[in-house]
A and B are shown apart, each in its own frame.
Chain A
């Protein structure tokens, strides 16, 4: 099964830029999707197909994907951006979805 690796935590001061990496073998050849989960809530999609945003997600959120690392970038971080962030890919060989272990974003 394909493995996605995320750091357990990332901390950033308000107004700064948060970068959350998601590592995987040749992940640049796959499409990566990102979800935010606030405490006590269900996950919510924030970026799909590497860099597209669903309606309602601010343009402070962006994504990139190259070689062995995909990255979710959040500019001008606010307190409301806190939560757990998960990357996800699709394994075409078995039609399975794979999640990274999640990264807790803390706004200092």
Chain B
């Protein structure tokens, strides 16, 4: 079965970087987008960006286009990484990876990782 397994919780200092992994299994890694969605405490879901592993091409949502976010994929291990730099307190959130299903008309997420809590403090 399709599974997305994320790395464990992390605590970071303000201004540092965090890297979260998402190891996929149960499907052809290059056939689907893998995206990152975060959820701040008590808040809704925020799309961050995604990557097409076949092309190693990443796409970032507008709040993350200034260069703080990097999404990469390693085909040999079917793993996607999300690295967020210059961390601030408002980056404290649960970070989810999700598999994207695409048609010619739309995209949705059919499988999600379990989430990784990243806490940023001074």
Contact = CB atoms under 8 A, between A and B. Distances in A.
Interface of A: 1, 30-31, 33, 35, 37, 42-45, 48-49, 54, 84, 86, 88-90, 94-102
Interface in B45-91: 45-47, 50, 59, 61-62
Please provide the 10 A-B residue pairs with the shortest distance between their CB atoms, ordered closest to farther: A31-B106, A33-B108, A42-B112, A90-B107, A102-B44, A99-B45, A97-B47, A90-B106, A48-B108, A101-B44
A97 B35 contact: yes
A33 B113 CA distance: 18
Contacts of B96: 42-43
B108 A88 contact: yes
Contact of A54 (B35, B110, B114): B110
Nearest to B106: A31
B112 A43 contact: yes
Interface string B95-122: 0101011010111111011110000000
Contacts of A33: 106, 108-109
A96 B110 contact: no
Given A42-B114, A48-B108, A96 B59 contact: yes
24 contacts: A31-B108, A33-B108, A37-B45, A42-B112, A42-B115, A43-B109, A43-B112, A44-B112, A48-B101, A48-B110, A49-B106, A49-B108, A54-B110, A86-B45, A90-B106, A90-B107, A94-B59, A97-B50, A97-B100, A97-B107, A99-B47, A100-B44, A102-B44, A102-B45
